[in-house]
Structure formats: C-alpha cells, structure tokens
Amino acid sequence: MVADLARTWGARILQPVARFFGNLGLTANALTVFGFFLTAAVAAVLATGRTQLAGLLLIFSLGFDAVDGTLARLTDTTSRFGAFLDSTLDRWAEIAIYLALIWLFLTLNDDRGVLLAAAALSASLMVSYTRARAEGIGVACKEGMLTRFERLVILIVGLIFNLTPWALGIIAALATVTAVQRILVTWQLTAATKK
C-alpha cells in the first residue's frame, strides 16, 4: 500500500520530530488529541470555502498524524488504549473534514457536491468499520487499495487543484471497493478456519 511506503520513507523525518515532542514531555496520546484538533481546525477553514488553503494545511496535518505512533514506539509506550484512541479520533477527524465539505456545498447550493461528499464519507467509514468488525471476530484485515492515507492524499490533490468533486467521486468509488475487498478477505479467512 502507498501508506506503508510513505511510513518507510517518512521515518527519517518523523523520528526527529517525535523525539522533539518527547523531549518537551508530551505523550503519544497527547499528540493524538492535538492532531485531532489540528484537523478540526483545518475543517473549519475548509467550511469557509478556502479549499486550496485547507488542502495545503491538510498536508501538514497528515504528516503530523503519524508522529504520535512514532513517539509511542520510540518511548516504548504503545498501548491498546493508545491504538483505540488514535483510530477513534482519526474517524472523527475524517468526519469533520467531510462535514465541512457538505456544509460548503450546501452554502453553494451544490446538490451534487453534497451527495458526493456524503458518499465519500459513508464509504470511508465503511472501510474502517469492516476492518474493525473483522478484528472484532479475530481476523486481521488490513487489505484494500484505499486506506485513510490514500483517501486524504486524493482529497488534498482535489482541494489544491480545484478538483474536489472528482476527488470525492474517486474516494467514494474506491473506498466502496476497498470495503468489499475486506468483506471478501474476511469471508475467505473465516471459511478457511471452519472445522
């Protein structure tokens, strides 16, 4: 996945940044919460119609999003609650971005934009939900072409180049495919373990 490649290449940058925050006495969970509020602030900018600025700010937000996990690993403070908190706030942050877009399209009387943003939000949440439910029954399921990282990259490109409806359509379609992929993978793995 693109997300895995980005983590590998970004490690050299993320580790010094994570150490800097660790030296300030901040914990990984504190960075997770701060990252959520940072994305919420970007959503507020997006809701005002400054889409290109929001896209640029999301680049920074996306980079910051990986710092908490890096800090947890560097300080050996990874925990189940930390993973839960990170995933939960990631979903809320994503919801905030799409709700900002829905609000923006409503103010512009753009019904198509509203539908595309709602479809992208719904499909994105289903990607996360299928993974969570699979893990809930003991199946590791990270497969799929469009993780949160890829969805945000597509959205950022759409915002910066004024192609937001196209980006939302791509996200809605490919996130739906990803959710179906995870359903099929989980079906195959559970069927294989039947006695």
Look at residue 62 in the predicted model and tell me its pLDDT. Answer: 84
Residue among 98, 31, 22 at smallest CA distance from 61 = 31
Look at residue 194 in the predicted model and tell me its pLDDT. Answer: 64
Look at residue 98 in the predicted model and tell me its pLDDT. Answer: 98
What integer is the mean pLDDT of 159-171?
97
| pLDDT score of 3 more than 70 | no
Q: How many CB atoms lie within 10 A of CB 66?
A: 21
Structure confidence at residue 39 as a pLDDT band (50, 70, 90) = very high
What integer is the mean pLDDT of 145-172?
96
2-11, 28-37, 147-156, 185-194: lowest mean pLDDT where?
2-11
What integer is the mean pLDDT of 20-34?
88
Q: Where in the sequence is the domain holding 18, given as residue range(s)? A: 2-192
CB 86 within 8 A of CB 32: yes
Q: Annotated active-site positions, please?
A: 90
Q: How many CB atoms lie within 10 A of CB 37?
A: 12
> Count of domains in the chain?
1
| pLDDT score of 8 more than 60 | no
Q: What pLDDT, in 10s, does the model give residues 113-155?
A: 999 999 999 999 999 999 999 999 988 888 888 999 999 999 9
Query: For all residues of the chain together, what is the average pLDDT?
Result: 90
- CATH number assigned to the domain comprising residue 97: 1.20.120.1760
- Alpha-carbon distance 34 to 68, whole Å? 10
